[in-house]
Copies of this chain bind each other. A is one copy, B any other.
């Protein structure tokens, strides 16, 4: 597995998990002393990790009042998905024509992972594998900054999306989506792959907006 060379890396990863899982819930204030203690580190690396998350919009910072887990309004949600869509479109437009046959084979390997994770019902494993699949496609664009920006948009809604893969119907739907995406990629069909990715987002935004309305 990936080695941690600094404590703050581990802190950052743990904070992302806690936000995505809802253990740190939207709107909640982050009490640095308590959180640092629970993570077994001092406040310094925690604060640096929080600054990173602030830059990604995952937490909001008020000087002298502290950090709060971001609480997306519906308007924020719409904006995030609008941005995601223009970024992802670009990544596909650039990346799909560059896909090698090896890339496609690799994508099919990932799909196997996704499906086997789906069989076990391990939600976090499905989520992770699903992410790997989509980002492997985006990375074909050879535009690391663009990919990072897309990743930020995904992260921004993670806190609301965690439940999606819990129901079997959604898992089945995801599989058919992935299969038609692969088909579009094999054909190096840019427009069709963009349309397929858009359908995937449609799906996702529905789930997330329901989660927001509930809270």
Contacts and interface: CB of A to CB of B under 8 A. Distances in A.
A57 B145 contact: yes
A75 to B, nearest CB: 8
A61 B193 CA distance: 35
B51 A6 contact: no
Contact of A52 (B51, B76, B86, B146): B51
Contact of A83 (B44, B76, B149): B149
A63 B6 CA distance: 7
Interface residues of A, number: 27
Nearest to A87: B86
B6 A64 contact: yes
Given A9-B63, A64-B5, A86-B87, A145 B51 contact: no
B63 A146 contact: no
Interface of A: 5-6, 9, 44, 47-48, 51-52, 54-57, 63-64, 76, 79-80, 82-83, 86-87, 90, 143-146, 149
Contacts of A76: 145
Interface SS of chain A: helix, strand, loop or mixed? helix
Contacts of A54: 52
Contacts of A55: 51-52, 55-56
Contact of A79 (B44, B52, B143): B143
Contacts of A48: 47-48, 51
Contacts of A52: 51, 54-55
A54 to B, nearest CB: 8
Contacts of A5: 63-64
Contacts of A44: 44
Contacts of A64: 5-6
Nearest to A5: B63
A86 B80 contact: no
Given A52-B51, A56-B55, A86-B90, A145 B80 contact: yes
